[in-house]
Amino acid sequence: MGANLDLVHCTVTENEGDYGRASRVESGGQLNLINSIVWNNGGAGSDEISIQYDETVNVTTSIVSGGEFGGIDEDPLLDSNAHLTSESPAIDRSGVVMADASALDALGGIRPRNAIPDLGWCEYNDTDTDSDGLPDWWEMLYFLNLDSSALDDNDSDGINNYEEFLAGSDPANHDTNLDGIEDNLSWGLGLDPANLDIDGDGISNGVEVTNGTDPFKADTDGDGYDDGVDAFPLDNTKWLAESGDSGDHTAPTITLIEPTIAVPL
């Protein structure tokens, strides 16, 4: 990011970054993080937010893992859908000031629901009008109505809606992460149907299962090289593909034999 950017009421979680796990500020840019949550991101970077040189990062009433740039270092207690749970310190956080008096949250809900707006992308809301165990926001997000019950299996993947809600998977898609393994089979293998690459090696769970590598282990053969860069992920004696041209450049020998029954034209 080389421009000036305001992130207001945003939640950045489970992102994978090579430098900043959540965000990278470079080329003289400036990041203003306001009323937001930056937590539990991964990748090769060591910081949630990184800068290239002396770029500016302003953090205002925001939760940031490790307290980077003066952020609040408290677990926001997010559920698998990145929503606030009932005990989250991001709810009605003291000192939060509305950035936009007319703003709605990302799901179209009123912000704030109480006197103080919550941190992150949406307000805490556990309203369940039909008392089926599924929050209204979740049913509206996936089904656009409140007609489905917790025990229904709308995508016919063998996992009922309540189980999909708890897992953070998509109740309207039998293969939530599009890895080629249906959600119920992912569960049977111990995989997370909402996580495309559970070991973070750059290879999807489905490809790992097909190739025989371990989807739970970034370096299947234990040779020190992750499967994503290992040309021989099942052989711990080598990892790098041979360099150079290994093609056969021997000139072919072509022999033409005239059939005995051939008739000249």
List 39's β-bridge partners, or say none: 13
Closest CA relative to residue 211, chosen from 200, 222, 227: 227
The backbone region for 169, taken as left when phi is positive above 0, alpha when psi lies in -120 to 50, beta otherwise, is beta
- Taking residues 75-93, report their average pLDDT: 91
**Enclosing H/E stretch for 60:** strand 56-60
Residue 249: predicted pLDDT = 63
**Is 166 a residue whose pLDDT tops 70?**
yes
33: pLDDT confidence band, cut at 50, 70 and 90? very high
- Taking residues 14-34, report their average pLDDT: 87
**Is 2 a residue whose pLDDT tops 70?**
no
Highest mean pLDDT among 44-48, 84-88, 109-113, 259-263: 84-88
3-state secondary structure of 135: coil
Burial 29-42 (b: 16+ CB within 10 A, else e): bbbbbbbbbbbbbe
Beta strands at 47-51 and 4-8: parallel, antiparallel or unpaired: unpaired
What residue type is 50 in one-letter code? S
256 compared with 79, residue with greater pLDDT: 79
141: pLDDT confidence band, cut at 50, 70 and 90? confident
Residue 246: predicted pLDDT = 55
Average pLDDT in the chain: 87
Contact indicator for 153, 142 with CB cutoff of 8 Å: no
45: pLDDT confidence band, cut at 50, 70 and 90? confident
**Is 98 a residue whose pLDDT tops 90?**
no
Q: Give the whole-number percent of the chain exceeding pLDDT 70.
A: 92
Closest CA relative to residue 153, chosen from 144, 145, 143: 143
DSSP assignment string, 206-241: HHHHHHT--TT-SSTT-SSS-TTT-S-TT-TT--SP
pTM above 0.85, yes or no: no
